[in-house]
Amino acid sequence: MNIRLADEKDIDQLIRMRWDFTIEHDESGEIAQLPYEDFENECQVFLQNVLNGDKWFIWVAEENGSIVSHIYIELIQKVPRPGRVTHPFAYMTNVYTIEEYRNKGIGSSLLSAVNEWVREMNYEFVIVWPSDEAINFYGKNGYVQCKEPMEYFPGE
């Protein structure tokens, strides 16, 4: 298993995995009826921008040239504060492992690599909003639940 940062050659696999992840959790079945090509075009532009920028990082676990798991990290810059050095924090999202590779320690290995990278880069903390099914996964990998954030929805 090779754990590394994604690069442009991974874009097609990352697009397919994002689609599959969404379909897997779409109980209505409506998303599967949408044109894949529309999503593919939008996601390709996003991923090209991400991989050429310095705000997002995509970590992947790969086996025999195929990505089997990934974690997306977005860095959030904080407003400087007098009396302390300000470090960004990391927002973790789109954590996904292909079904046949689950429960084999791959996701935990990938998350451990991300956690080590976060320490090395001196980011302040990592925040993730896990699904109910993922709470134990994060808990066994050193994450603790915090109080719920507040949200504002401008359309409501």
pLDDT in tens, 69-91: 999 999 999 998 898 888 999 99
Residue whose entry in the numeric block shows the structure tokens 């066994």: 140
Say if 149 falls within a structural domain.
Answer: no
* Full residue range of the structural domain in which residue 130 is found: 2-139
* Predicted pLDDT at 81: 86
CB 43 within 8 A of CB 15: yes
In a domain, 129, yes or no: yes
Question: Phi then psi for 96, rounded to 5 degrees?
Answer: -150, 140
- String of b and e for 91-121 (b: at least 16 CB within 10 Å)? ebeebbbbeebeeeebbbebbebbbebbeee
pTM: 0.90
- CATH of residue 50's domain is 3.40.630.30
For residue 154, being part of any structural domain is answered with no
Residue 33, classed as helix, strand or coil, is helix
- Angle at Cα 135 formed by Cα 111 and Cα 97, nearest 5°? 45
**At 2, is the pLDDT very low, low, confident or very high (cuts 50, 70, 90)?**
very high
Cβ neighbourhood burial of 21 (10 Å; 0-12, 13-18, 19+): middle
Let me know if residue 12 belongs to a domain: yes
What pLDDT digit, counting tens, does each position of 99-121 carry?
999 999 999 999 999 999 999 99
As beta bridge partners, residue 75 has 90
Asked if 2 and 113 count as a contact pair (C-beta separation under 8 A), the reply is no
- Please count the structural domains in the chain: 1
